[in-house]
Amino acid sequence: MMNHKKNTYVSLAIMLIIFLTSQPLLRVYSSSNQNLASPQLVGVVKSVSGSKITIMVANLQNQNQQRGFGRVNVVLTNKIQILVVNNKTQMYVRLFENGQINEIKISPKDLRPNDILYIWFSDSKKTNVSRIVLVDTYDPYRVPDQIGVIKKIESNKLTIIVVEFNRPQIQRPQNERQNNANQQKSQRSQSTKPSNGQRQGFSQRQLPIKLTSNTKVIYITKSTEILTSTFNNGQVNEKKITLKSLKVNNIVYFWFQDSNKTTAKRMVVVGTYSSK
């Protein structure tokens, strides 16, 4: 009897080892795993050449997102850094599916410009890259700098009423990541990314807004990009318009081109405010 139990335990152990070693490309983690520790460096891919990855160093806009599974918002710095990877560098794309974090093995050739990377090093000087995880795609227009309702329109300037509500995060399609999971290998294509005017996201009309007592003057230049946005079948479609198309009570998202945040670089009309 003792020998029978012993043989059973040995057989189960062997089966477990075979199962674990037969799936080298897919790793599943619980939220408490040490591999989810804060990255030592965050960067946005600028270019890839062989084993060299040139990144724009970035800071997480919300430090609580370091272990999060939603959209990753980063702020670019003016620093460029070159990462050199080798056959010891672990590289993965991170997916969150069915309550689990799945990491699928990739290589430098799978990276694309604007991919957001979490980076870890094996040495104190931070020269030897030990681990890279692709977590999202950088979009400079994901979160607006200012949201307002137009109060007055003049030749090259708008007076807006400042609006308060939780800033939305435009969701990009995750088809690339899903294909990776099915294929056990990242074979991402630019064609799966949304084209201009084809952003996938939220319905602005479903978000409550609150007018404040604050007003602000925003200047428009010839280079200011002005668009209107409509939400249909789960996608946000954008169309270029002119300054003459703007109307009082339009709800507008603004991105600025100056540090004082008074001159608009980009503005998107997302709806019309009504107090009713």
pLDDT in tens, 9-22: 545 554 544 444 44
Residue 62 lies in a domain: yes
Within this chain, do residues 30 and 132 fall inside the same structural domain, yes or no? yes
Instruction: Give the pLDDT of residue 42.
Output: 95
d(C-alpha 88, C-alpha 73), whole Å = 29
User: 61-72 pLDDT, tens per residue?
Assistant: 764 444 444 578
d(C-alpha 88, C-alpha 77), whole Å = 28
Within this chain, do residues 216 and 152 fall inside the same structural domain, yes or no? yes
Within this chain, do residues 163 and 125 fall inside the same structural domain, yes or no? no
Residue 246 lies in a domain: yes
d(C-alpha 107, C-alpha 216), whole Å = 48
Within this chain, do residues 71 and 166 fall inside the same structural domain, yes or no? no
Instruction: Give the pLDDT of residue 166.
Output: 53
Within this chain, do residues 154 and 115 fall inside the same structural domain, yes or no? no
Q: Which residues are CB-neighbours of 171 under 8 A, at least 6 positions away?
A: 71, 200, 201, 202
Within this chain, do residues 46 and 113 fall inside the same structural domain, yes or no? yes
d(C-alpha 264, C-alpha 224), whole Å = 6
Within this chain, do residues 181 and 66 fall inside the same structural domain, yes or no? no
d(C-alpha 207, C-alpha 178), whole Å = 28
pTM score of the predicted model = 0.58
User: 105-157 pLDDT, tens per residue?
Assistant: 999 999 999 999 999 999 988 889 999 999 999 888 878 889 999 999 998 99
- Of 88, 119, 137, the one marking the end of a domain is 137
Residue 223 lies in a domain: yes
d(C-alpha 190, C-alpha 215), whole Å = 41
Instruction: Give the pLDDT of residue 165.
Output: 65
Residue 5 lies in a domain: no
- Of 91, 108, 137, the one marking the end of a domain is 137
Within this chain, do residues 156 and 208 fall inside the same structural domain, yes or no? yes
How many structural domains comprise the chain? Answer: 2
Within this chain, do residues 113 and 225 fall inside the same structural domain, yes or no? no
Domain that holds residue 160: 146-272
Q: What is the mean pLDDT of the chain?
A: 76
Within this chain, do residues 126 and 230 fall inside the same structural domain, yes or no? no
Within this chain, do residues 78 and 172 fall inside the same structural domain, yes or no? no
Decide: 51 and 86 in contact? Cβ < 8 Å: yes
Residue 40 lies in a domain: yes
Residue linked to tokens 């674990």? 20
- Of 137, 171, 197, the one marking the end of a domain is 137
Residue 12 lies in a domain: no
Residue 9 lies in a domain: no
Within this chain, do residues 120 and 203 fall inside the same structural domain, yes or no? no
Residue 258 lies in a domain: yes
